A and B are shown apart, each in its own frame.
Chain A
Amino acid sequence: MRRAQPWLGTFVEIDVDLDDTQLAGIAMGSAFERIGSIHAAMSYHSPDSDLSRLNRAAAGVAIRVDADTWTVLCMAAELHADSDGLFDCAIAGTLVLEGLLPASGGVESGSGTQAGIELPEPGVVRKHCSSHLDLGGIAKGYAVDAAVAVLQRFGITSGSVNAGGDMRVFGPVPRPIHVRDPREPSRLLRLADLQDAALATSGGYFVRRDTGTAKSALVDPFRRQCVATDASVSVLAPTCLLADALTKVVALSGDVYHPLLAARGAQALWLGAETTVRHQGRQARIAG
C-alpha cells in the first residue's frame, strides 16, 4: 500500500508491504503525522518553528526546543566536527544573501559557524554568536528515519519512505532503485538494489532564477559562498539522516572517498562529467 502527502517541501511517499490495509493505513497515518511534526519544528519558513525561534534568538540566550530539533542539532554538531567544518548548518545567512532563502525575523547575516551552537543539556540550545541555521541539509533525512521507526513500531517489517529522493528502505526484500532514462522517458534504469539502507542525492544545483543567473543552494561554509557543481552525488548510508548530510560533505569536498563515509558505514557515488567546482555569486558579508 502506497500513499503520498506533501511535506518538507516535497512529496513524501510511504510504501508498506502489509495485507492488512486497515493497520497499514493507521501506521502510515502515524508516520505522516510524525513527519508533519518534524516539519513544523524545523521549518525555516514557519515563524513558530524551533528553528525560527533559534534563528531569532540573541547570542547567549538559552532556547528550549523539542527533542527532535535537539537530536538533529546534536547530529549536525557531530558531523560538523567530524567533517572538520565542512558540514555546517549555520549557512542560512549566505543563502539569505544569495536570495535563496527569505530574510526572516530580522536576522540578516548570521556569520557564525555550527561550532557556535551549544547544546548544554537535552532540549536546550544556546547560540554563542549570530549563527543563522538552516536544517534543510539534514532534517529531511531525519524525518524519513523517524517515519520508518514509526512504521516499524506498528510491526511493519517491510517498506520504504521516500521524501523526494531522500529515501530509506527496510525489510528482508531488496528494493530496486531506478533512475529515469533520459533517452526514453518511459524506461527506467536500474541503479542498485537497496536493502535496509538509505540513499540521498544532491544534484542539479543550478537554479535558474528570474534574473537568468544560476545559483546554488550548496554553501561552502569556509568561503561563505554558494557553490555550483555539475555533479550529482548520491550517498548510500545506514540512515537517511547520514545519507542526506553526507551528500553535502562529498559534494563540497569533491571526495567520494571522504574518510567520514567509511567511518559512518556509507559510500558515495559521484555522477557527473565534471568534477570542477565553480564559485559564484557575490561575496557574502562576514561580520568581524
Chain B
Amino acid sequence: MQANRFLIAALPVAAIAVAAAPGAYAVEYLSVGAALKLMFPDATDFAPVSLALTIEQLRDLDARIRPSGGARVPRVIEVRRDGREIGRVYLDGVIGKTELIDYATAIDADGRVRQVEILTYRESHGYEVRNPRWRQQFVGKGVTTPPALGDGIANISGATLSCRHLTDGVRRLLMLHAADAAART
C-alpha cells in the first residue's frame, strides 16, 4: 500500500515550543465543502456514499492493523466529473494526543493519496512549551500536572505523536479504500 504523495516517513525534527497563533486550541482550517473544492477543483459533483464494507469487515480490518489513533467509520464522498467517478474523499478523525483531529483524505481514481487536509485541530498544536523546567518557571510549586515527557516530542520517526496518528489514519484509510473497492465488485 503506497501513499505516493503522502510520505509516511518524516524528517527528524526538534521538539517544538512556541505558539504562533492565539487561540490555537481549536483551529478550524477548512469546512468540508471548502476542502472538497480544494482537493478536486475540477469535480462537478460530490456525493456522499456508504461503504460497501460491512461493519464486521471493517472490524476485521481494524483488528488486523490496530489503528493507533482510534478507529472510526469515515464519511465517504464520491467525487465525480460529468458523471464519472474521479476519486473519493474520506472524512475521518484521529485522536492526536488526547483530542480529535478531523481531516480529509483525497484519493485518486487509481487509489493513490492525492491530498490530506486538516479540517479541525483541537489540540494545542504542539505549540505549548514541552520543557518541564521551562513550564516550572510559570507553574511554581503548586503544579499538579505531571510533565508529559516524551509526549509528542520529536522521536524515532521525528514525528509528533499527533502527526504519527494521522499518518497511521491515512494508512488505514488506504487499506479501507482498497478493501471497499474489492467489496464493491
Contact = CB atoms under 8 A, between A and B. Distances in A.
Interface of A: 2-6, 8-11, 13, 15, 25, 29, 36, 39-40, 42-46, 49, 95, 99-102, 134-137, 139-140, 160, 162-167, 175-183, 185-186, 188-189, 191, 199-209, 214, 217-218, 230-232, 234, 244, 247-248, 271-274
A247 B25 CA distance: 26
Nearest to B159: A9
B88 interface: no
Contact of B13 (A9, A99, A179, A188): A9
Interface stretch (B47-55, B56-64, B68-76, B115-123): B115-123
A11 B150 contact: no
Interface string B148-185: 01100111111110110011000000000000000000
B30 interface: yes
B138 A181 contact: yes
Contacts of B32: none
B126 A164 contact: yes
Contacts of A230: 131-133
A8 B9 CA distance: 8
B158 A271 contact: no
Size bracket, chain B contacts = 35 or more
Nearest to A140: B13
B65 interface: no
Looking at chain A's contact residues, is the secondary structure mostly helix, strand, loop, or mixed?
mixed
Looking at chain B's contact residues, is the secondary structure mostly helix, strand, loop, or mixed?
loop
Contact of A3 (B29, B130, B131): B29
B16 interface: yes
A199 B18 contact: yes
B34 to A, nearest CB: 8
A165 B9 contact: no
Nearest to B148: A208
Leading 7 A-B pairs by shortest Cβ distance: A9-B10, A45-B9, A165-B16, A208-B150, A136-B12, A204-B130, A180-B128
Contacts of B133: 230-231, 272-274
A29 B38 contact: yes
B11 interface: yes
A202 B15 contact: yes
Contacts of A10: 10, 13, 16, 126, 159-160, 163
B17 interface: yes
Contacts of A40: 7
B162 A11 contact: yes
Contact of B18 (A15, A134, A182, A234): A234
Contact of B131 (A164, A180, A200, A203): A203
Given A46-B9, A135-B11, A206-B150, 14 more contacts: A3-B117, A15-B21, A43-B7, A44-B158, A160-B20, A164-B125, A180-B19, A181-B138, A207-B154, A208-B149, A214-B149, A230-B132, A231-B131, A272-B131
